[in-house]
Amino acid sequence: MARYDANVEGVRSVFLKLRTRSGLTVERLDATEVDVRLLAELPSVRRHIRETGVSEGEAIVHVVTSVVAALEPADLLIADTALALGVLRARVGERTEVERLYADDLGERRRALAEGWETLHELLGVTPGHPSPTVRSLRGTIEARTLGVLAERCVDDAEPADVESLGETVGFVVVVGSAVTDHVVVSEELPGIGEAVQAESFDVHPGGKGLNLAVAGRRLGLDARLVTAIGGDSQAKDLLQFMRKEGLGTELVKETPGVANPRALVLVGQTGETRYLGWTNETEVSLSREDLRAPRVREAMAAADAVLVTLEPPMETIKWALSAATAQREKPLVLLQASPPRETPQQLYRLLRGVDYLVGREGELRRLLSDPDGPRNVDDLARSLLSLGVGAVCVIESFGCKIRSSVISQDIEGPPVPLDDAPGVREAFSAALIHKLIQEGAGRSREEALRWAIAAMATNPSLDEIAESMPGRDEVERTLETDRILENP
């Protein structure tokens, strides 16, 4: 059952009243008898007024229009038409079929939407997900549902991270992976079959390797965008709030209203050994080909300095990400994190030539081979993977890195950490490595980038608060400085 929120219901009620006549305009807000205080008090509206000095009416229209522009295509069209905001016109220009959506009469706007349903979707570059609504269904339930979605987005718009405190961004990265709700259990020991063990702690946190990578990149100073699909329950809304608070853009995150968000049970031992049991809800929560071909996704891939991919999404999404990154006119750096292990990894072999860095535990990397037990040691394992076209293999164990490529073969030990492992450390490593490589540009030192990435792993390791523990730049620098003092007392 969907959660009840009095603020959401109040904002939806205001939208339902404002949809009549000419819709939501500054002039209407200045003259209406509708009580719009709930809109004026939205944190995003107050923030826009502080930042720009515009009037309340102008701020309300700006914020609502921005939120509508980020909705899924069908909801975008319905909300844009109901409130006559002009979102579609701003994207595709003035067209006859578009101008009818902004008539002064709500009935005429509904007729234009119903009659032009397929054409309007084509203008957005997508195909309709369901048949054209009727005027009666728009008036009866569809508009009310969509304006409820819009109200949730407006109310849930958390105060974003202080971008200035994060510093100037050094590059733009696209992350393709999952955002899930982690149910983290920390236990001294894990039970055998039929046994019961009392855990040390249990908590719920934002998670998913994709989300961890994006948060790590953002905290280190990268402009990060996560391409993923989430559900539409309260836990999915909590994830969106967390992303916005971290300063992550959410325009590439697909929400699926009315379905449960993916979850993961994370079992963590006291020394950091981790086991995962995931439920992806893949039949209801996934990215379609149309989602991946959307203009905003294509534009992000074309602008990316780096693309970071995990093995969490469906295989078709992973293949698309690696293929799309390699196909760019200016190829970005591509990092593939080999987790979680997948069945039939051979499907990825032809795409590995576009991968600059392959990162994972030794066991995870072995699972990429047809014969995981074939290589006798790390060198043999790396040779097998390099023969598939990978640029460099990074084996991450015990907070250290063994890197193998055609130009470097080096084992770098990690700093002393009172853990054998910790969830999230490989995401911290991957984001930090890419950050340093982008920052250094053509003159980059791979060894310096590796040492930076290893220091990031050893900074703030956590057994439970995984995404929340990702380090910032200053914290990584302090870890490096401590290491230098310990090495040269």
Q: 381-427: per-residue pLDDT in tens?
A: 999 999 999 999 999 998 999 999 999 999 998 888 888 888 889 99
- Residue 343 belongs to what domain range? 165-487
Domain boundary among 155, 184, 203: 155
166: pLDDT confidence band, cut at 50, 70 and 90? very low
For residues 318 and 344, is the Cβ–Cβ distance under 8 A?
A: no
Q: What does the pLDDT read at residue 2?
A: 40
Q: Which of 310, 317, 267, 315 minimizes the C-alpha distance to 288?
A: 317
Three-state secondary structure of the chain: CCCCCHHHHHHHHHHHHHCCCCCCCHHHHHHCCCCCHHHHCCHHHHHHHHHHCCCHHHHHHHHHHHHHHCCCHHHHHHHHHHHCCCHHHHHHCCCHHHHHHHCCCHHHHHHHHHHCHHHHHHHCCCCCCCCCCCHHHHHHHHHHHHHHHHHHHHHCCCCCCCHHHHCCCCCEEEEECCCEEEEEEEECCCCCCCCCCCCCEEEEEEECHHHHHHHHHHHCCCEEEEEEEECCCHHHHHHHHHHHHCCCECCCEEECCCCCCCEEEEEEECCCCEEEEEECCCCCCCCCHHHHCCHHHHHHHHHCCEEEEECCCCHHHHHHHHHHHHCCCCCCEEEEECCCCCCCHHHHHHHHHHCCEEEECHHHHHCCCCCCCCCCCHHHHHHHHHCCCCCEEEEEECCEEEEEECCCEEEECCCCCCCCCCCCHHHHHHHHHHHHHHHHHHHCCHHHHHHHHHHHHCCCCCCCCCHHHCCCHHHHHHHHHHHHHHHCC
248: pLDDT confidence band, cut at 50, 70 and 90? confident
Q: Which of 411, 340, 385, 377 minimizes the C-alpha distance to 177?
A: 340
How far is residue 231 from each of residues 59, 193, 459, measured CA to CA in Å?
29, 32, 32
The answer to the question of residue 378 being in a domain is yes
Number of domains making up the chain? 2
pLDDT of 335 higher than 70: yes
Shared-domain flag, residues 140 and 236: no
164: pLDDT confidence band, cut at 50, 70 and 90? very low
How far is residue 110 from each of residues 22, 114, 299, 369, 476, measured CA to CA in Å?
13, 6, 31, 56, 55
How far is residue 285 from each of residues 279, 280, 297, 318, measured CA to CA in Å?
11, 7, 18, 15
Mean pLDDT for the stretch of residues 452-461: 90
Shared-domain flag, residues 235 and 149: no
Distance between CA 212 and CA 206 in Å, rounded?
Answer: 9
Shared-domain flag, residues 253 and 341: yes
Q: What does the pLDDT read at residue 161?
A: 47
pLDDT of 268 higher than 70: yes
Shared-domain flag, residues 118 and 171: no
The answer to the question of residue 1 being in a domain is no
pLDDT of 463 higher than 80: no
Domain boundary among 133, 155, 177: 155
Mean pLDDT for the stretch of residues 63-78: 89
Shared-domain flag, residues 250 and 273: yes
Shared-domain flag, residues 122 and 193: no
Distance between CA 240 and CA 248 in Å, rounded?
Answer: 9
Map tokens 């844009």 to a residue.
80
Mean pLDDT for the stretch of residues 123-130: 85
Q: What does the pLDDT read at residue 486?
A: 65
Distance between CA 468 and CA 460 in Å, rounded?
Answer: 9
Shared-domain flag, residues 125 and 178: no
27: Cα separation from own chain's centroid: 37
Mean pLDDT for the stretch of residues 304-310: 97
- The mean of the pLDDT values for the chain is 88
For residues 300 and 225, is the Cβ–Cβ distance under 8 A?
A: yes
Q: Which of 208, 295, 282 minimizes the C-alpha distance to 252?
A: 295
The answer to the question of residue 160 being in a domain is no
Q: Which of 204, 257, 205 minimizes the C-alpha distance to 231?
A: 257
Shared-domain flag, residues 142 and 31: yes
24: pLDDT confidence band, cut at 50, 70 and 90? very high
Mean pLDDT for the stretch of residues 364-383: 95
Domain boundary among 135, 155, 175: 155
pLDDT of 114 higher than 70: yes
Beta bridge partners of 202: 185
Shared-domain flag, residues 328 and 267: yes
Shared-domain flag, residues 175 and 150: no
Shared-domain flag, residues 10 and 55: yes
Q: What does the pLDDT read at residue 430?
A: 96
Q: Which of 298, 314, 326 minimizes the C-alpha distance to 389?
A: 326
pLDDT of 274 higher than 50: yes
For residues 71 and 153, is the Cβ–Cβ distance under 8 A?
A: yes
pTM: 0.69
The answer to the question of residue 144 being in a domain is yes
Q: What does the pLDDT read at residue 443?
A: 54
